[in-house]
């Protein structure tokens, strides 16, 4: 995605090209276009190795919610490192920060009646854990045939085999097929692009009915769970109609299927509610957490299950052993960082700030509709997207090889504003400590970029 820039030293660029494979990109592209090498951060700003300072409108990968280099979080990490750097949570081992964090999460998730936490090293681990616990739950509940998983097209649930098989985008799967058997997708609630309707409520009914029909088609007695993001993130910031999650809950209840909320991006305030599903008025059975749990200061994931699910493990039987977990499940430094981050999230009401500043951002993004290449703008809280189109009338997207989106990204960087451009969308997901003044700064750069960069004719 990046184009040519002068690296701080030829040697660094050379080593990068020779030795480092970057995720989610063709290595040949990276060889041609040196990446931006970030060296420092402070609040809502980041700096590269050449000393250029950028307004961070991505919060890393929508994870640095409390902002960069917060002294409170660094102090908590150092305090834990000075006590012990690592001891895990396998079997009958434990450490204090992971126990404290599990209690903190269960308290925060009291409205959802969550009861147990399993830690891991990140988002992909967290969804994988959810799929395995869902299958185990049904075996413990005397319904061993309930193993299949449903998800949404354009959903993203990480890169492990389960998560990849649940993810609904061909681009992420083709090189690694065959996928896991038993994973099925229904249409995304994509208001801007769907063959049926412009009416959100009608779309909610259509999508929920498809889930209902396809579960019946597979046989409800074979379906373990349905997983979805409360707002689909990297698939294009697809905000579902307001009633859809309640409809999902009803369909899952009707067919005795677990509802898994992938809160890896939406958890801890990004959509304006503390959790995305809570914002839709729905209590899931399982929640996948990562990213905002400790703002990315140290890798950490968590899978949380409600009373109904946890109760299946209460009486020992043949398969109650949880033969799953990672060396870094409950890493004490990651958990200590999380406790400090969650203090900030609650004390500074970051969900409230995300709601207020996000509403201002969305209002201002509407201004971009005057430009020919802007097909749609949408968002919830500080999760926002601008959909680029080659032709507004037909909604034709840019071809994957078209240079326009990358040029737009370059124009933003030239104005010292970092955004993410992926799959023909400009994605904006700043730290949740963002302000309206920063929004206005980002908007000035967006206006200038859309005015100066034109697609090839």
Ligand X SMILES: Cc1ncc(COP(=O)(O)O)c(C=O)c1O
Closest approach, Cβ 291 to ligand X, in A, equals 7
Q: How far is CA 230 from the centre of its chain?
A: 10
Q: In the numeric block, which tokens belong to residue 457?
A: 């004719």
Count of residues that interact with ligand X, criterion CB under 6 A: 15
Distances (CA, A) of 42 to 39, 69, 100, 264: 11, 5, 28, 23
Distances (CA, A) of 308 to 113, 138, 180, 312, 366: 9, 11, 27, 7, 43
Find, among 175, 123, 115, 181, the residue nearest to 147 by Cα. 181
- CB proximity list for 219: less than 8 A, separation 6 or greater: none
DSSP 191: S
In the numeric block, the tokens 């609040």 are attached to: 43
Closest approach, Cβ 265 to ligand X, in A, equals 5
Distances (CA, A) of 3 to 17, 35, 47, 147, 185: 14, 8, 18, 45, 35
220 belongs to the binding site for ligand X (CB under 6 A):
no
268 belongs to the binding site for ligand X (CB under 6 A):
no
User: Contacting ligand X (CB under 6 A), which of 65, 89, 98, 127?
Assistant: 127
- Only segment of 205-213, 262-270, 331-339, 360-368 that touches ligand X (CB under 6 A): 262-270
Closest approach, Cβ 214 to ligand X, in A, equals 21
Distances (CA, A) of 282 to 129, 230, 247, 278, 329: 21, 10, 10, 5, 28
420 belongs to the binding site for ligand X (CB under 6 A):
no
Q: Are strands 148-152 and 223-228 parallel, antiparallel or unpaired?
A: parallel
User: Contacting ligand X (CB under 6 A), which of 48, 229, 285, 410?
Assistant: 229
Which residue lies nearest ligand X, judged by its C-beta? 123
User: Contacting ligand X (CB under 6 A), which of 68, 70, 139, 157?
Assistant: 157
158 belongs to the binding site for ligand X (CB under 6 A):
yes
For ligand X, the binding residues in 335-394 under the rule CB under 6 A are none
- Only segment of 156-164, 370-378, 414-422, 439-447 that touches ligand X (CB under 6 A): 156-164
Q: What would the x/- binding string for ligand X be over residues 271 to 310, using CB under 6 A? A: -------------------x--------------------
Find, among 456, 419, 333, 389, the residue nearest to 73 by Cα. 333
CB-based contact 157:151 (threshold 8 Å): yes
Q: What would the x/- binding string for ligand X be over residues 46 to 85, using CB under 6 A? A: ---------------x------------------------
128 belongs to the binding site for ligand X (CB under 6 A):
no
Closest approach, Cβ 272 to ligand X, in A, equals 17
List interacting residues with ligand X (CB under 6 A): 61, 122-124, 127, 156-158, 229, 233-234, 262, 264-265, 290
């Amino acid at each position: 995605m990046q184009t040519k820039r002068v690296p701080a030293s030829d040697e660094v660029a050379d080593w990068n090209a020779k030795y480092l494979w970057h995720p989610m990109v063709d290595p040949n592209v990276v060889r041609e276009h040196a990446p931006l090498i970030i060296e420092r951060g402070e609040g809502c700003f980041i700096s590269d190795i050449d000393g250029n300072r950028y307004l961070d409108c991505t919060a890393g990968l929508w994870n640095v919610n409390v902002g960069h280099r917060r002294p409170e979080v660094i102090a908590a990490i150092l305090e834990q490192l000075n006590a012990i750097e690592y001891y895990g949570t396998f079997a009958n081992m434990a450490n204090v920060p992971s126990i404290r964090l599990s209690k903190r999460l269960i308290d925060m998730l009291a409205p959802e009646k969550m009861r147990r936490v399993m830690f891991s090293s990140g988002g992909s681990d967290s969804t994988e854990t959810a799929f395995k616990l869902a299958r185990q739950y049904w075996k413990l509940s005397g319904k061993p045939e309930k193993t299949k998983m449903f998800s949404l097209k354009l959903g993203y649930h990480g890169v492990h085999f389960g998560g990849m098989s649940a993810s609904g985008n061909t681009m992420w799967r083709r090189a690694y097929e065959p996928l896991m058997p038993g994973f099925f997708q229904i249409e995304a609630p994509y208001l801007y692009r769907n063959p049926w309707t412009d009416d959100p409520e009608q779309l909610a009914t259509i999508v929920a009915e498809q889930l209902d029909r396809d579960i019946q088609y597979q046989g409800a007695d074979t379906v373990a769970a349905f997983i979805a993001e409360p707002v689909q993130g990297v698939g294009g910031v697809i905000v579902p109609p307001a009633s859809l999650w309640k409809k999902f809950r009803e369909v899952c209840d009707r067919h005795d299927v677990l509802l898994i909320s992938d809160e890896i991006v939406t958890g801890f305030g990004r959509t304006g509610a503390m959790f995305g599903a809570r914002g839709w008025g729905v209590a899931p059975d399982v929640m996948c957490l990562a990213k905002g749990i400790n703002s990315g200061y140290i890798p950490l994931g968590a899978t949380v299950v409600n009373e109904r699910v946890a109760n299946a493990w209460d009486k020992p039987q043949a398969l109650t052993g949880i033969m799953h977990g990672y060396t870094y499940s409950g890493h004490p430094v990651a958990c200590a960082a999380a406790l400090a981050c969650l203090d900030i999230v609650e004390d500074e009401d970051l969900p409230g700030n995300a709601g207020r500043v996000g509403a201002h951002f969305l209002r201002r993004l509407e201004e971009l509709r005057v430009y020919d290449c802007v097909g749609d703008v949408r968002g919830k809280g500080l999760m926002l997207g601008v959909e680029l189109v080659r032709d507004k009338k037909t909604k034709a997207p840019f071809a994957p090889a078209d240079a326009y989106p990358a040029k737009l990204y370059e124009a933003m960087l030239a104005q010292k504003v970092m955004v993410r451009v992926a799959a023909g969308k400009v994605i904006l997901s700043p730290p949740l400590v963002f302000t309206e003044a920063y929004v206005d700064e980002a908007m000035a750069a967006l206006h200038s970029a859309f005015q100066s960069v034109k697609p090839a004719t």
